[in-house]
Structure 1
């Protein structure tokens, strides 16, 4: 996507870029529907289907596949939805991404709250769709794909650290691949999807690898499972803020960095 779209004139920074726009003939400025309503619908629809597919992959997980099945499904779902929705909403689908992109200058403040609301609503809708599709037995066994891995306080430290570190990693990929002009890449959907896959494979047995409060909130609400749910808000949001700070202070280009210009 052309660099001028990151000059706070667009709703959100897209997670993929294209240089082909420079060859297109001039078009009329986007109207209110295209600037406000359509991006919110894109976030709602994208988050809905990401959570729906992700939850079904967990609920119907074949034991012999282990972590591989949910890892591939979550990662590929992210890559596909990012590629499809990038020019509509920016393809955030994750509250920490939205916060980090805003803090790095990639979207306007007035759209942050609507994006977050649509993402959480999408998480609930996707979880409800997963419940409607799967068998009652499998749904109950998996707690509706809510993160039921944590069962004692002894696990909290490792799980919280894992959520912070892994969300920081994937958020840095988003910021450096889509927002930072010096490192922007058209391969962002592939990069983000692969990062989700390796995170799930690496940390699935430690925290469940949520990385997304919307992904945690929807299944928790639909299945009424709230055990240690706060970890999947504090960890991902903390990781996203750390990633934003790293890009703003150290890794970003001169336009993005706040210091040492």
Structure 2
């Protein structure tokens, strides 16, 4: 069963909670700025039609940016940078709901600010949003978002949460960046390859284009929650007993 820990209002007064929220805000801002900026740069250079080269460019930008911001924020907030990651960890009891809500707010604000800065800086360029691919059904896009986000949170648990991760834990940011890169290559033409409600939310709000936006919340939260349940309840290695 899920091991939800509610937490309390007093948690918001803890210095580490506010530092963690600030780290999530900055990290998400930098990630979304690089990710959305890479899509805008491709559109400026090559046009609005996504090509294989553009897909690779955008996937690399997202994967590398995520690797960097996780490495930079892991020791402060845990390096979530994604409401689906926060939710998946909350399902396993690795973060309280109270702090998770604080992180969600920080992540969404960071994404909105990144999209706003891009829009105000490049007035003649459009800010792209995640969209379902042409001729693809909404159900297909939803399934893809569930599966790719499951893979992401599964990787988070295996490399950054599991007590037996050992040396693997030291390369967690690289592993997480790589799975996002691979998933965007696989899912980009079909669903956009979001895996991250915050990454989708900022551009959608700034452009006020909410077309099929629900997919980028429902899919990642289902995938993240399932990964948290499966890994935490079946696969995770229990911590060693304390010695007295």
Relative to the length of structure 2, the TM-score reads 0.84
Mapping 1:1-261, distance limit 5 Å: 34-61=15-42, 62-63=45-46, 65-136=53-124, 138-139=125-126, 144-150=127-133, 154-183=136-165, 185-255=169-239
Give distance in 2, aligned partners of 1:135 and 1:148.
22
- Runs (4 or more) in structure 1 with deviation over 6 Å come to none
Contact 1:104 1:179 in 2 (8 A): no
How far apart are the structure 2 equivalents of 1:254 and 1:42? 29
Aligned equivalents of 2:180, 2:118: Cα separation in 1: 20
- Size of the alignment, in residue pairs? 220
C-alpha separation in 2, matches of 1:178 and 1:33: 24
Q: Distance in 2 between matches of 1:190 and 1:34?
A: 28
Q: Distance in 2 between matches of 1:214 and 1:190?
A: 21
- How many angstroms apart in 1 are the aligned matches of 2:190 and 2:98? 36
Q: 1:150 touches 1:228 (CA, 8 Å); kept in 2?
A: no
Query: 1 CA distance for matches of 2:123 and 2:96?
Result: 42
SS in 1 for 2:209: coil
Q: State the distance in 2 between where 1:102 and 1:85 align.
A: 18
Unaligned runs of 5+ in 1: 1-7, 9-31, 257-261
Q: Distance in 2 between matches of 1:110 and 1:232?
A: 23
TM-score (structure 1 length as normaliser)? 0.79
In 1, Cα distance between the equivalents of 2:93 and 2:164? 14
